[in-house]
Chains A and B, each alone.
Chain A
Amino acid sequence: DQQVKQNSPSLSVQEGRISILNCDYTNSMFDYFLWYKKYPAEGPTFLISISSIKDKNEDGRFTVFLNKSAKHLSLHIVPSQPGDSAVYFCAASARSSGSARQLTFGSGTQLTVLP
């Protein structure tokens, strides 16, 4: 049972336009959400996060929106640049056992920004 879903395996956008990556989750216990970017042959790199008490968090060209009632979050990249081409993973955090917290990842979306 996939608790975090990224339904679009790939997305292509033109340089300068907006990229919108989507993520849905099912577990109501998730209270913190993160986006990671991954280039080939590298580990995932933290990009931006949002707490469940907020509905928007912005960092430069990157904005994450959270809709708790719909259990949906999205990452907006404006303007998109060719260097943004990578796999983007959505991750959700919840307390797992005792004092531990666990990240659950989506399957990723390959973003290609065309020059």
Chain B
Amino acid sequence: DSGVTQTPKHLITATGQRVTLRCSPRSGDLSVYWYQQSLDQGLQFLIQYYNGEERAKGNILERFSAQQFPDLHSELNLSSLELGDSALYFCASSRDGGSIGETQYFGPGTRLLVL
């Protein structure tokens, strides 16, 4: 158990809908990352937050947004969903997100299926 929790585990929705994925980092970790893993692909970095502020952006679509709250949990919002958004979405956390040698610890993921 990495200490990172994600809800829900599974989500089935229809095209055009909006969903929210939730992540709670490990105790003491200030940085949260979101990744997308499509079928047979590696993990694609979406976005990073540090202590409530956006720190880095990767290949995140404009239809997607995220935020980190004062209690450090994070939410990833996916809107106007398309079939191609079906994927595993992972959250990871780390101590500060800027130190060399720092390890990211991953949650179990949310499997999103868009029909």
Contact = CB atoms under 8 A, between A and B. Distances in A.
Interface of A: 4, 6, 9, 31-32, 34, 36, 41-46, 49, 51, 89, 93, 95-108
B41 A100 contact: no
A107 B90 CA distance: 15
Contacts, number: 73
B29 to A, nearest CB: 13
A43 B4 contact: yes
Nearest to A2: B42
Contacts of B109: 42-43
Instruction: Sort chain B's interface into a size bin.
Output: 20 to 34
Interface of B: 2, 4, 6, 33, 35, 40-45, 48, 50, 55-56, 58, 90, 92, 97-109
19 contacts: A6-B42, A34-B103, A41-B108, A42-B109, A43-B108, A43-B109, A45-B2, A45-B106, A46-B103, A46-B104, A51-B100, A51-B101, A95-B98, A98-B56, A100-B55, A100-B97, A101-B99, A101-B102, A106-B42
